[in-house]
Structure 1
Amino acid sequence: MRSQVTVTWGEPATYRFDLEEVQPMPHDQARAWLDQQFTAFDCEPIRLTGKVLTADKVLGVAQAAGQERFRDAAHRDWAMEFARASSAALAKPTVTVDLATMSVGY
Structure 2
Amino acid sequence: MLYHVTVSFGKDRQYQYKFTQAELADSSPEEARRWFSIEFVDLKCEPTNPMGKLLIIDKILNVARFGGEQRFIDGKTWATQFARYTALALGRDTIHVDVEAFNIGY
- TM-score when scaled to structure 1? 0.90
State the match for 2:87 in structure 1.
87
Deviations 1:44-85 (A, max 9, x none): 111111111000000000000111000114xx2111110111
Amino acid at match of 2:102: M
Distance 1:96 1:22 in 2: 21
Amino acid at match of 1:96: H
Aligned residues: 104
- TM-score when scaled to structure 2? 0.90
Distance 2:57 2:88 in 1: 12
Distance 1:22 1:11 in 2: 31
Distance 1:69 1:11 in 2: 17
- What is the 5 A alignment of 1:29-40? 29-40=31-42
Q: CA deviation at 1:20?
A: 2.6
Q: Aligned in 2, Cα 1:21/1:91: closer, same or farther, shift over 3 Å?
A: closer
Unaligned runs of 5+ in 1: none
State the match for 2:102 in structure 1.
102
The root-mean-square deviation of aligned C-alpha atoms, in Å, is 1.4
Distance 2:79 2:37 in 1: 16
Q: CA deviation at 1:94?
A: 1.5
Q: Which runs of 4+ in 1 moved over 2 A?
A: none
Q: Which of these residues, 38, 43, 56, is aligned with residue 58 of structure 2? A: 56
